[in-house]
Amino acid sequence: MAKIFTFFICILSATLLQAQCPGCIVNPACTANPAAPSLCPETLPDAIQGQPYEIDATFFMPQQFTDPGSGFDVTLASITIATIGGLPPGLSATTNDADNIYEITSDPLTQRGCVRICGIPTAIGFYTISVNVIASVSAPISTEAPQSFTLPLAVVPGGSGNAGFSLSPNSGCDSINVEFQALITSPSQPVTYQWDFGNGQTSTEFIPEDQVYPVADTYYVSLQTNLLNYVVTGVTYTSTGENWCGDFEEPSIPFIGCTGSPDIYYELSNGGATFTGPTQDNNESYSQSDAFIALTETALSINFFDEDVISQNDALGTAVVQFQEPGVYPFNTSAGFGTVTIGTTVGISFTHNDTIVVHPSPASPAITSTALSVCEGDSITLSLPEAAFYQWLLNGEAVLSANNDSLIVNESGSWSAEIRSEAGCLAVSDTLITEIIEFPEQPVVFVNPVNGSFFFNPGSGFEWIWLFEGDTIAGTQNLATFFPTEIGNYSVVVSANPACALYSDEQYFTNLSTEALAAYTYKIYPQPFQEGYLMIESNWIETGEVNIQVLDLTGRQVLDQSTNATAGVLSVFIDQQVPGIYLLRMEQGGRNGYQRLIISASVPGSN
């Protein structure tokens, strides 16, 4: 049956909790070909701690389908959502049916339902949601079967919430590694980054190395992002031509040549703007180191001139300089050579901050127990200290719906538990071994009328000892056959553990003579016997119910059956047994009769 309903693993995370997120929408396209129970989507996405989570899931429940596990054609009548455990703190869910009962008919509208899971998960971790349902099937047989399913859901740490940089994760337990990346860039401007990670480390990289936060604490991270503007910080130029010569200011004298030196200045154009540099008089070399000309484009043109007050200014050459980063860029003109020094200045500065919290894991919890071993039918209560979330485990496997601080157990095994703090930090408990001690079957001592002995054998795994008048008889531990030596009441006490012992009824030994034993004898036939109906006759058997038991000579019971006798006659059907000598015990009204039964091998073709 479990395979028939595995599709409910996800949909039944629709809990019976408060209806905090109603309004799921059924997806009419959710189906399967060939028809089979299915879910859309098939898996749930991870939830992020501290961030709203909401998802609608549609389940398809065809009225008839072939179960791939068994090959049976199944007719599904209804599904009832019963209980659920293990939902991460902060999440709840509701179905589109207020009663959580889905009656399945041939109408396609009844074959689909939905669930909305929503909330704000508060604790990171990997959770095993357990769901219990009752499935009503009308074919191949009519039955109601309880089923349990599990649904894994991961709640992962959140990331950054600021516009300047991303980080992931922003929280964790004990010690975490965090990835960082700046978010602000510019296609035209240089950008610098100054990180302070709050753990004693800094960086200037766009994507810095992962950072380790080794101990539980709150860490404050900051990033200063500077968008830089390019600026011209310096200009040099050396004039190699003489086109500045021959005017009124720098006349050319025959037989002497040019007199004086040019008065150099420049005009720099960039992005539609023009800047004029200061004039340096009477020097063929120009040098400026305190320029501060803001640039908007990565190309500039620069024109050099000789300034003449009376006559027209003389052109000393033009150059175009292209750049991609700060530096000193040389250039040549038709009348000289020089350099332009490109630097940067902060245009806009941003500072963004964020917080990383490393939570301490809780201490490993100690399980307290009302007992470590109890007799079959009793139970043990296990308890844990206070925590935000609990998950009990039996032999290392999660126990479905075991999500409380205490657990009542009635089976043997190794019990442990996982707890989580409000932040989702995990701690695993110690292991506690419980033992539910099995009771044997009610012991019965049998009398062998042939030799006057008692015999008893409860099978492997048990200890027993013979008693006389309620006191143990030394040296009789685990004796299958016991020969009494004095008149009185004999019995056995048997157990798998002394705390859980059972006592047989007492058998009174009188050392009866053969004549006395004959008082409760009876006739059985055919003898020897093979298999089929065995006839029994005796004058002490009354009309009514008679108990018949057949035992081998080790005390192992091979038949225990009640049948009706009529006027001292009855019959009992006995399957074929291993050939040998058996003891047949007949009891009615407190009277016991014993008889040897010889079973022989069947002769081929005799039946």
The predicted-structure confidence for 20-36, as pLDDT tens digits, reads as follows: 677 788 888 888 888 88
Higher-confidence residue of 328 and 519: namely 328
Six-digit token string for 325: 């980063």
Q: Is there a single domain that holds both residue 344 and residue 424?
A: no
pLDDT band (50, 70, 90) for residue 554: low
pLDDT for 413 equals 95
Q: How many helices (H) and strands (E) does the chain have?
A: 2, 51
- Residues 276 and 344 occupy one common structural domain: yes
Q: Give the total number of structural domains in the chain.
A: 5
- pLDDT bin (cut points 50, 70, 90) of residue 47 is confident
What DSSP element (H or E) covers 517? helix 514-517
User: Do residues 194 and 317 both lie within one domain?
Assistant: yes
- What CATH number does the domain containing 561 carry? 2.60.40.380
Q: Are residues 219 and 144 in the same domain?
A: no
Specify the higher pLDDT residue, 4 or 457. 457
Confidence at residue 516, expressed as pLDDT on a 0 to 100 scale: 41
Do residues 284 and 149 share a domain? no
Q: Measured between alpha carbons, how far is 207 from 203 in angstroms, rounded to an integer?
A: 9
Show the tokens assigned to 365: 């919890």
Distance CA 100, CA 79 (A): 8
Q: How confident is residue 132, by pLDDT bands cut at 50, 70 and 90?
A: low
Structural domain of 477: 446-509
CB count in 10 Å sphere of residue 131: 26
Residues 151 and 219 in one domain: no
541 in Cβ contact with 521 (< 8 Å): no
Task: Based on the fold, state whether residues 46 and 77 are members of the same structural domain.
Answer: yes
- DSSP-derived letter for residue 577 is -
Q: How far is CA 587 from the centre of its chain?
A: 59
Quick one: 300 and 373 in the same domain? no
- For residues 102 and 201, the model is more confident at 201
pLDDT at position 3 is: 38
Residues 35 and 146 in one domain: yes
pLDDT (average), residues 355-375: 93
Q: Which residue has the higher pLDDT, 567 or 5?
A: 567
Q: Which tokens belong to 163? A: 């516009």
- Considering the domain boundaries, does residue 15 fall inside one? yes
Residue 465: inside a domain, yes or no? yes
Q: What is the pLDDT of residue 146?
A: 67
**Of 324, 339, 360, which residue is a domain's last?**
360
Mean pLDDT within 101-114:
84
- Is the pLDDT at 5 greater than 70? The verdict is no
Q: Which two tokens stand for residue 485?
A: 């030596």
Domain assignment of residue 605, yes or no: no
Residue 14, pLDDT > 60, answer no
* Mean pLDDT, residues 73-79 taken together: 83
CB 587 within 8 A of CB 546: yes
CA gap 260, 271 in Å, rounded: 36
Determine, yes or no, domain membership for 182.
yes
Tokens of 95: 């179905």
Element (H, E) at 546: strand 544-552
- pLDDT tens by residue, 162-205: 889 999 999 999 999 999 999 988 877 899 999 999 999 999 99
**Are residues 578 and 493 part of one domain?**
no
- Cβ atoms of 110 and 96 closer than 8 Å: no
End-to-end C-alpha distance for the chain, whole angstroms: 41
Q: Which residues 6+ apart lie within 8 Å of 556 measured at CB?
A: 457, 459
Residue 479 lies in a domain: yes
- Rounded CA-CA distance 549/543 in Å is 18
pLDDT of 599 strictly over 70: yes
Q: Is 607 part of a structural domain of the chain?
A: no
Neighbours of 502 (CB within 10 A): 17
Shared domain check, 347 and 313: yes
Amino acid in the structure at residue 209: E
Least reliable range by pLDDT among 51-55, 489-493, 517-521, 524-528: 517-521
- pLDDT tens, residue by residue, 495-507: 877 778 888 888 7
Closest CA to 436 of 393, 500, 481: 500
Is the whole model's pTM more than 0.95, yes or no?
no
CA dihedral 462, 465, 471, 475 (to 10 degrees): -150
